[in-house]
Amino acid sequence: MLVRKLIPWLSRLLGGSLLLAANSAYAEYGLNLPQGVTEISREVYDLHMLIFWICVVIGAVVFGVMLYSIFHHRKSKGAKAAQFHESTTVEIIWTVVPILILVAMAIPATKTLLKMEDVANADITIKITGYQWKWRYDYLDQNFGFYSVLSTPREQIENTADKSEHYLREVDRPLVVPVGTKVRFLITSNDVIHAWGVPDLAIKKDAIPGFINEVWTLIETPGTYRGQCVELCGKDHGYMPVVVEAKSIEDYQLWVGEQQALALASTEDPDKVWTADELMAKGEQVYATNCAACHMAGGEGVPGAFPALKGSKIATGPIADHSNIVLHGKAGTAMAAFAAQLSDSELAAVITYERNAWGNNTGDSIQPSQVKAAR
């Protein structure tokens, strides 16, 4: 009977906290797992709720008995201790009953798992590569790909500007997929282990260097779905969001056309001579996206962890050594090789910028054609 009293109390408690969440500005995230936008994510949600309620019921029974005992079997109420201390029958009962409950849980869980692992017959394949600290998406059949980098401005992170609605969950170029289509993701990594996850799709898979993993999804409703890297991958682990934009098939095809055109257009004239100002302007942008996370916007670095560029021997020394490090990285450190990540002009711009910003006034610059030769 105490159990009967307990259930309304529990649901009041739960209802109360739900109310609390509804009042908050971002009620859509609430207290619970999102139901998501795929058949699988809804199945996962149902499974989660099923197990949750089983736990609540077991908890209500066990805690109910315990609370009853705590209130009634106390010495201050004159309770005399019974001396029973063994019963093989009840031991067997409370071994067998939980096993039956577990079997009942395992059956639907197995079914859902089998469905999740069925990657056959996908229409589109996208390769996802984790980098410290960004994602790259390659559309294998359409021959284009791009990096997807956090777009939240540093000022918001450093609290000098108000935080936007999608603070830390926005990127410069989201992953775009069509709705109603089975999309397969091949996931790998360029350096350390990352994990690609979007709760609305009930996907989470590790990206492991040298190895490939696959998952699939079939999104039903157009929209923007957000997640982030979910395996500790170093300093900026918290700053590599995943944004998936699901578009109707027509919009998706339009978008693919644009991207392919863009990919063609970006093949630039290799022999164009850039002015120092052009290089500096472009270099500042490239630096902010690729370098500022470690070497900091002011080039001062993080003492002990990431060297300063401001006044550094490398950024003010021979230009060949400087470009060598930017192009090929430095073994055994977090300094990555940027040769394959950036274009000739981007590299020329960022190297020039580093040599002339923050009082590093070397006055020299490097042209994209020279970078090409140094590769």
Partner 1 sequence: MSTATTHDAHHEHQPSGIMRWLTTTNHKDIGTLYLLFSLLMFFIGGAMAMIIRAELFQPGLQMVNPDFFNQMTTMHALVMIFGAVMPAFVGLANWLVPMMIGAPDMALPRMNNWSFWILPFAFLMLLATLFMPGGAPAGGWTLYPPLSLQTGMAFPFLIFAIHMMGMSSIMGAINVVVTIFNMRAPGMTFMKMPLFVWTWLITAYLLIATMPVLAGSVTMLLTDKFFNTSFFNAAGGGDPVMFQHIFWFFGHPEVYILILPAFGIVSQIIPTFARKPLFGYSSMVYATASIAFLSFIVWGHHMFTVGMPIKGELFYMYATMLIAVPTGVKVFNWVSTMWKGSMTFETPMLFAVAFVFLFTIGGFSGLMLAITPVDFQYQETYFVVAHFHYVLVTGAIFAIMAAVYYWIPKWTGNMYDEKLGKLHFWISCISVNVLFFPQHFLGLAGMPRRIPDYAVQFTEFNMISSIGGFVFGLSQLMFAYIVFKTIRGGAKATDQVWEGAHGLEWTLPSPPPYHSFTTAPEVK
Partner 2 sequence: MSDTALKQNNQRLLWRMLIVAVAMFGFGYLMVPIYNVFCDITGLNGKTGSVDAQSLDGKVDLSRTITVEFVTSLNETMPWEFRPAVTRMQVHPGEIGTTSFYARNMTGQAMVGQAIPSVSPSAAAAHFNKTECFCFTQQRFEAGQGMDMPVRFVVDKDLPIEIKTLTLSYTFFDITEKVKDTL
Angle at which helices 39-72 and 2-23 cross, to 10°: 130
Binding-site string for partner 2 from residue 205 to residue 244, where x marks contact by CB under 8 A and - marks none: ----xxxxxx------------------------------
The interface partner of residue 340, options being partner 2, partner 1, none and the CB cut-off 5 to 8 Å by kind, is partner 2
- Burial class of residue 299 (count of CB atoms within 10 Å of its CB; 0-12, 13-18, 19+): buried
Q: Which among 206, 175, 184, 201 has a CA at the least distance from the CA of 126?
A: 184
Site residues for partner 2, 38-57, by CB under 8 A, read none
- Looking at the Cβ atoms of 163 and 375, the one nearer to partner 1 is 163
339 touches partner 2 by CB under 8 A: yes
Please select the residue that binds partner 2; options are 336, 349, 350, 351, rule is CB under 8 A.
336
Q: Report yes or no: 230 and 204 within 8 Å, Cβ to Cβ.
A: yes
Strand, coil or helix: 213: strand
Q: How far is CA 255 from CA 100, 151, 152, 219, 317, in A?
A: 52, 20, 23, 17, 45
- Least Cβ distance, residue 195 to partner 2 (angstroms): 16
| Partner whose footprint covers residue 328, from partner 2, partner 1, none (CB < 5 to 8 Å by kind) | partner 2
By CB under 8 A, what part of segment 150-209 binds partner 2?
A: 186, 188, 190-191, 209
Spatial distance between the Cα atoms of 249 and 338, rounded to a whole number of angstroms: 35
Residue type, 239: Y
76 binds, among partner 2, partner 1, none (CB under 5 to 8 A by kind): partner 1
The size of the interface with partner 2 (CB under 8 A), counted in residues, is: 35
229 binds, among partner 2, partner 1, none (CB under 5 to 8 A by kind): partner 1
Q: Please tell me whether residue 329 binds partner 2 under the rule CB under 8 A.
A: yes
Q: What does the alpha-carbon distance between residue 288 and residue 292 come to, in Å, rounded to a whole number?
A: 5
When binding is defined by CB under 8 A, the residue of 250, 269, 340, 363 that contacts partner 2 is: 340
Q: State the nearest-atom distance from the C-beta of 310 to partner 1, in Å.
A: 17
Q: How would you classify the pairing of strands 134-139 and 124-131?
A: antiparallel
The number of beta carbons lying within 10 Å of the beta carbon of residue 9 is 10
Distances (CA, A) of 202 to 36, 62, 105, 297: 7, 32, 19, 36
Distance CA 42, CA 114 (A): 15
DSSP 8-state secondary structure symbol assigned to residue 237:
G
Q: In the numeric block, which tokens belong to residue 108?
A: 């639907």
CB of 165 to partner 1, least distance (A): 7
115 interacts with partner 2 by CB under 8 A: no
Q: Smaller CB distance to partner 2: residue 55 or 337? A: 337
Cβ–Cβ < 8 Å for 140, 125: yes
Question: In the complex, what is the shortest distance from the CB of residue 214 to partner 1, in angstroms, rounded to a whole number?
Answer: 8
The only residue of 35, 125, 181, 369 in contact with partner 2, by rule CB under 8 A? 125
Token representation of residue 125: 């394949």
80 binds, among partner 1, partner 2, none (CB under 5 to 8 A by kind): partner 1
How far is it, in rounded angstroms, from Cα 194 to Cα 236? Answer: 11
Amino acid at residue number 352: T
Please select the residue that binds partner 2; options are 24, 83, 89, 121, rule is CB under 8 A.
121
264 binds partner 2 (CB under 8 A): no
Nearer to partner 1, 5 or 272 (CB): 5
* Closer of 205 and 282 to partner 1 (Cβ): 205
**Binding residues for partner 2 (CB under 8 A):** 117-122, 125, 127, 129, 131, 140-141, 186, 188, 190-191, 209-214, 327-329, 331, 336-341, 373-375
